[in-house]
Each structure stands twice: as structure tokens, then as C-alpha cells.
Amino acid sequence: MNQPVAESADVDVVELRVPCKAEWVALVRLSVAAVASRLKFSLDEIEDIKLAVAEACTNAIQHAHGSAYIEITCEARADGLRVNVRDYGRGTRAEAIRSRDLEEERVGGLGVFLIRSLMDDVTYDVHPEHGTRLVMIKKSSA
């Protein structure tokens, strides 16, 4: 988290590090909503972003075995919002996340379904020993 972030005039970056506990998800939701409100998103789009980020944080907390905290990075860009959610625990297998079909209905997989449905682009980088990074992008409609 302490690595320098390459910034340009087009990108404003907000970073959060919160304990790996469910009670901190509300703080993340509010923070991401504040960043999103500075961009050209509608109220409905901001609600979608908040829900996707809350699901991502909840998944990170549930699967971040041994991690003391999760990191959230919001990049406010001219073309939209990029949110990274990162944990450092030994999480789930990458193939299990990538192979889930959007139409698949199963208990425990609803969070991934919601994230993919609400955001424009979603990618996972899963390393069995170094944790998981989820990148979500919401493009501005204006």
C-alpha cells in the first residue's frame, strides 16, 4: 500500500485501509460514494457502485483468511471510476471466480454476480499466497 502511485492531472486517488471486519464496510461505502459523487454519475449509478463495493469488501473479508486489513483504492478519472479492493489472505481459487457464469444462481455466489452486473468491467487477480485484488470500473455516462 505504501508504494507511490503514478498520478496524472486526469486521476485523483483516494486510498483506504480498513480492518478486516464487517463493521468497517459502511465506512468504505460512504467513502466510495463521496468519490463517485464528484464525478458525473447519477444517484442510481452511485447506489450501484456502493452496492458493488460493499459486496467486494464483504467477499474480501470472508475470504481473506489471515489478513488483518483490506485496502481500497478509488481512482477518479475523466472517464469514470476505478475501484481496487485488495486483501492479503489466502483466498479462493481464481478459476472458481472467473468460471462463474453471470446466469448462475447459487448461494454464496450472489456477490460476484452483483458486482459483475453493476459495474462495467470487473477483473480478479488471485495469488494463492499473496491475496486477491479485485478491480472494478464504472464508466461515466456523460
User: What does the pLDDT look like over 29-65, one tens digit per residue?
Assistant: 999 999 999 998 999 999 999 999 999 999 999 888 7
Residue 89 domain flag: yes
CATH of the domain at 132: 3.30.565.10
> How many domains does the structure of the chain reveal?
1
pLDDT surpasses 70 at 94: no
Is the distance from CB of 21 to CB of 53 less than 8 angstroms?
no
Residue 139, class by beta-carbon neighbours within 10 Å (0-12 exposed, 13-18 middle, 19+ buried)? middle
Q: Which domain holds residue 71?
A: 11-139
Q: What is residue 142's predicted lDDT score, i.e. its pLDDT?
A: 64
The verdict on residue 5 lying in a domain is no
State pLDDT tens for residues 109-140: 778 899 999 999 999 998 877 889 999 999 99
Query: Which residue has 489472505 as its cell numbers?
Result: 89
- The per-residue pLDDT for 107 is 42
Residue type present at position 82: R
